[in-house]
Amino acid sequence: MARILRPFSILPSRVAEGYRRSSAVFSFNHDGLEVARVRNRSRYLPLWHLIFFIYFAMIIRLVVAADIGTAGYEARMQEMREGHTLERLAARVMHMDPVSRQLAVQIRTGLTFINQRILDRRI
């Protein structure tokens, strides 16, 4: 008997909370046949977007620091820290930690070696 009345017992909670949207999307084919598809319940900002942004910021930071050197990079970051709100935010995101600084130095050393020894170019 309890099994029969179970659907009716959740009715007051559904009415109080409001009905959820259906998890199916209905559309029509070219011949007029109705087709139901499962609704994609994705988050507004997926986690991989945040991870990609962090990796992208790290790569840009390393490339710029390797190109202009760590001293020049720190001078530009100091200029950005004294700028407007958006510049201060960018300076916080692009701040060099010791590991990134060491990687930038190693990349710069490697690029200098490649340019001088392999490509016969002077910087």
State pLDDT tens for residues 17-30.
554 555 777 788 88
Residue span of the structural domain in which 84 resides: 47-118
Has residue 39 been placed in a domain? no
pLDDT tens-digit map of 68-114? 988 999 999 999 999 999 999 989 888 888 998 999 999 999 988 88
Whether 103 is covered by a domain: the verdict is: yes
Comparing C-alpha atoms, which of 25, 112, 28 is closest to residue 66?
A: 112
In a domain, 26, yes or no: no
Percent of the chain's residues with pLDDT above 90: 24
Residue 42 is predicted with a pLDDT of: 63
- Whether 56 is covered by a domain: the verdict is yes
Q: Is 38 within the bounds of a domain?
A: no
- Evaluate whether residue 82 is within a structural domain: yes
Strand partners of residue 27: 35
The answer as to whether 97 is a domain residue is yes
For residue 12, is it within any domain? no
**What's the CA gap between 83 and 8, in Å, rounded?**
63
Q: Would you say the pTM of this structure is higher than 0.85?
A: no
3-class secondary structure, 52 = helix
Structural domain count, the chain: 1
